[in-house]
């Protein structure tokens, strides 16, 4: 269940209440006249089944309420209520499958900002991956994949395509391109410093790397894995099972490929650097393609559910 807290101008409260009462899957409706001070108005609260929330939020936004009031949404961790259980039964579909487009857009927007924190995480992840390549360490490579924050902008691009949000697409692509270029440049400097300190060497770089050589050898399986990761990543963001995103981070070699490319270019191994860049490109394209298709499939699925939903139903 989700909990909605709404501040509505006094002259629009009845319309908001009518909308809530007419939405399948709502319950625990409460109205507090004149309780809001900034902005002034009435406070309206209710609980709504997750699978019914997206349509309700879309109608509240379309009504212009966010411009004059407020709509806040919180997850309900525990609700001991037969009415809540009935609301979830009344709402078609399963809550774990529901897509909250407003929440997804907001989350991907936050994760797609070219911030100092984002650059720091991506740079540190790329440096860790460089150490993993030089030491041929699977542990370091996995650690770098976990630290890397690049899936946020990737999901932002997918969301922007499906929801037709050019500003989100621009910010997400900027974060990806600038972020990887900055991280690779910083990793190149990092490798020069460590080489000067005797911790890295060209001999170490050109030596066989049986554990990490997959990083710069793109093939058909690279695309398959990237697409599977794109599907899993989007599902983890849109459903209640967000913990699966960690597994997605570990499965795709975006950051290690960028790190190897930086090392290869630094040591003048242009052919290997080119293969690593190709691996990076294949992985990014695979994630974007599969992620966008997943969102389109979810959009079509819930559009069909909406068509099957009763036009109105009294609040439980």
Strand partners, 103: none
Domain range for 255: 103-302
pLDDT of res. 315: 41
Which of 49, 73, 97 marks a domain boundary?
97
Instruction: List the 2-8 sheet strands across, edge first.
Output: 26-37, 40-48, 2-8, 70-75
175 and 67, same structural domain?
no
In a domain, 311, yes or no: no
In a domain, 313, yes or no: no
108 and 255, same structural domain?
yes
In a domain, 307, yes or no: no
In a domain, 249, yes or no: yes
pLDDT of res. 249: 63
114 and 91, same structural domain?
no
In a domain, 308, yes or no: no
Contact 162, 298 (CB under 8 A): no
Going by C-alpha positions, the residue among 63, 12, 53 that lies closest to residue 36 is 12
Going by C-alpha positions, the residue among 67, 166, 57, 156 that lies closest to residue 104 is 156
117 and 36, same structural domain?
no
In a domain, 199, yes or no: yes
In a domain, 314, yes or no: no
Going by C-alpha positions, the residue among 131, 163, 145, 148 that lies closest to residue 61 is 163
Residue 83 sits in a domain whose CATH number is 3.30.70.120
Which of 79, 97, 115 marks a domain boundary?
97
Rounded to whole angstroms, the Cα distance separating 7 from 39 reads 8
154 and 68, same structural domain?
no
- In sequence order, the 6+-apart residues with CB closer than 8 A to the CB of 120 are none
Which of 97, 132, 159 marks a domain boundary?
97
107 and 86, same structural domain?
no
Strands 40-48 and 70-75: unpaired
Q: What is the pLDDT along the chain (316 residues), one digit of tens a residue?
A: 899 999 999 999 999 999 999 988 999 999 999 999 999 999 999 999 988 888 899 899 999 899 989 999 998 888 889 999 998 888 877 767 778 888 888 888 888 889 999 999 999 999 999 999 999 998 999 889 889 899 889 999 999 999 999 999 999 999 999 999 999 999 999 999 999 999 999 998 988 888 888 888 888 888 998 999 899 888 888 875 555 555 566 667 799 999 999 999 989 899 989 999 999 999 999 999 999 999 999 888 877 776 665 544 444 3
186 and 40, same structural domain?
no
59 and 186, same structural domain?
no
Domain count, the chain: 2
pLDDT of res. 101: 87
285 and 140, same structural domain?
yes
Per the omega criterion (within 30 degrees of 0), is the bond before 39 cis? yes
Rounded to whole angstroms, the Cα distance separating 114 from 130 reads 22
153 and 244, same structural domain?
yes
pTM: 0.82
130 and 232, same structural domain?
yes
């Amino acid at each position: 269940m989700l909990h909605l807290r709404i501040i509505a101008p006094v002259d629009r409260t009845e319309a908001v209440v009518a909308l809530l009462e007419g939405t399948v899957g709502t319950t625990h409706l409460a109205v507090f006249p004149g309780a809001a001070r900034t902005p002034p108005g009435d406070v309206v609260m209710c609980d709504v089944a997750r699978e019914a929330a997206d349509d309700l939020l879309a109608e509240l936004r379309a009504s212009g309420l966010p411009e004059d009031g407020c709509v806040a949404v919180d997850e309900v961790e525990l609700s001991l209520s037969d009415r809540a259980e009935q609301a979830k039964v009344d709402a078609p579909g399963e809550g774990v499958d529901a897509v909250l487009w407003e929440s997804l857009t907001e989350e991907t927007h936050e994760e797609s900002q070219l911030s100092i924190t984002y650059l720091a995480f991506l740079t540190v992840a790329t440096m860790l991956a460089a150490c993993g390549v030089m030491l041929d360490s699977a542990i370091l490579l996995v650690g770098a994949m976990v630290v890397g924050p690049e899936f946020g902008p990737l999901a932002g691009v997918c969301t922007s395509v499906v929801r037709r949000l050019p500003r989100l697409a621009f910010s997400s692509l900027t974060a990806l391109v600038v972020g990887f270029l900055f991280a690779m440049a910083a990793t190149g400097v990092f490798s020069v410093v460590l080489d000067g300190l005797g911790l890295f060497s060209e001999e170490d770089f050109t030596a066989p790397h049986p554990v990490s050589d997959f990083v710069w050898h793109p093939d058909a399986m690279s695309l398959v894995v990237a697409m599977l990761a794109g599907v899993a990543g989007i599902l983890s963001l849109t459903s209640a099972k967000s913990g699966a995103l960690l597994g997605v981070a570990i499965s795709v070699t975006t950051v290690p490929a960028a790190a190897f490319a930086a090392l290869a270019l630094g040591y003048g191994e242009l052919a290997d650097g080119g293969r690593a860049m190709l691996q990076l490109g294949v992985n990014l394209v695979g994630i974007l393609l599969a992620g966008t298709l997943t969102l389109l499939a979810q959009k079509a699925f819930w559009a069909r559910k909406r068509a099957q939903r009763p036009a109105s139903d009294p609040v439980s």
